[in-house]
Amino acid sequence: MTLSGEQWLEQVFRPAVAAVERVRSADVVTVDPLRVLGGRLAAQVEALGDTGVLTDAQERSALDALEEAGIMPEVRTVSASSSGPGAALPVAVRAGSAAPVAAHQPAEAPRLRGVLAGPRRLGHLDGRPVTLVSAELWSDRVLVDLYADPGQEYRDRRTRATREHLEWLRGQRRGHAAERPRSALVASPLQDLTWTLQDDHGTEYHRTGGSAEAEHHLDRQRLRWSPAPPAHAERLTLLATDATGTVVLDAELPVPEPTA
C-alpha cells in the first residue's frame, strides 16, 4: 500500500521524532546516534518532497520538527593547513590575516620532547571559557590545541546558513534557477581570530600549519608555530586578535618540560 504524504508523516515520521524525545529525556543514548537518525529522516523527507509525495509546506514543517528535536544533520566543518611542497589545504584563519608560512624543511624527523597536558583554563572569549587541551614541544615546532563552546549566536548563524543551502539544493533538484548561497560554512569564533605566539625571550614565531573543527557545541583549534622555543625559554604567551585589531585573549602557559 502506498502512503500519502500525510500518512507517512503520521505513521513514520512523527512517531520517530517522538521516540527521539523519549530517549533523550531518559538520557540513555548519546547525541551522535540520534543525529544519524535525524540525517536519515531528513534524507527521506527531501526525497518525498522531490517526488511530490510531500508538499513544500509539509517538507519545511518536517525539517523544522527535526531542528526542534535537535537532530537536524549538521554541516560539520573541518579545515587544515599544511606547509611544504605540494601543500594545498585551506586554513581557517580570519580573512585578511596572515596565512601560515612555509616551514623550513628539517634535515631529520621532528621529535616530540614534552607535553603540557590539559585541561587548563586559558581565559574567556565573549564570556565563554577557552580551554587548553595540550601544548606540545617538538624539536622544531610548538603546537597548541584548544577549544571553546562557540555560543548560541554562532549556532543560530550556522543553522540559518545550513537551511539556506538546503533550500538552494532543493531548488536545484527541482530545476529552479537560483543564486547559490555564499556558503553553508560559517566561521566559528575561534576560526575568526588571528593567533600569535610569543615567549619570554622574544623569539619570532611563524604560523606553519594547524587544523580546526567546528560543530554546534565545539569550536577547536590546533595551532602550529616554528621554530621550537629556545632551551632557556620558560613561558609562552598566546594572543588572539579580532578583526578590529583588538586582543581578545591573552594567555600565558609554561613551556612544556622536555622529558628525559
Tens-digit pLDDT profile for residues 140-157 = 999 999 999 999 999 888
Helices 56-68, 14-26: axis angle to 10 degrees equals 10
Question: Is the residue at 163 inside a domain?
Answer: no
Is 56 found in the same domain as 101? Answer: no
Domain boundary among 27, 56, 73: 73
The verdict on 121 and 20 lying in the same domain is no
| Nearest CA among 178, 182, 181, 187 for reference residue 158 | 187
Amino acid at 133: V
Residues 118 and 130 in one domain: yes
Cell digits for 66?
Answer: 527535526
> Which CATH number is 106's domain given?
2.60.40
Same domain? 141 vs 50? no
Are both 39 and 143 inside the same structural domain?
no
pLDDT in tens, 181-209: 766 567 899 999 999 999 999 999 999 88
Mean pLDDT of 212-232: 92
* pLDDT band, very low/low/confident/very high, at 228 (cuts 50, 70, 90): very high
94-103 CB burial, b ≥16 within 10 A, e <16: beeeeebeeb
Q: What is the structure's pLDDT at 174?
A: 75
Answer whether 137's CB lies under 8 Å from 233's CB.
no
Q: What is the pLDDT of residue 200?
A: 92
Interval 213-242 mean pLDDT: 93
Of 13, 46, 73, which residue sits at a domain end?
Answer: 73
Range of the structural domain that residue 19 is part of: 5-73
Question: Residues 64-91: what's their mean pLDDT?
Answer: 58
Q: Are 119 and 17 members of one domain?
A: no
Do 107 and 231 lie in a common domain?
Answer: yes
Band the pLDDT of 227: cuts 50, 70, 90.
very high
Residue 162 covered by a domain: no
Asked whether residue 57 falls in the same domain as residue 69, the answer is: yes
Nearest by Cα to 175 from 259, 15, 50: 50
Q: Does residue 129 sit in the same domain as residue 249?
A: yes
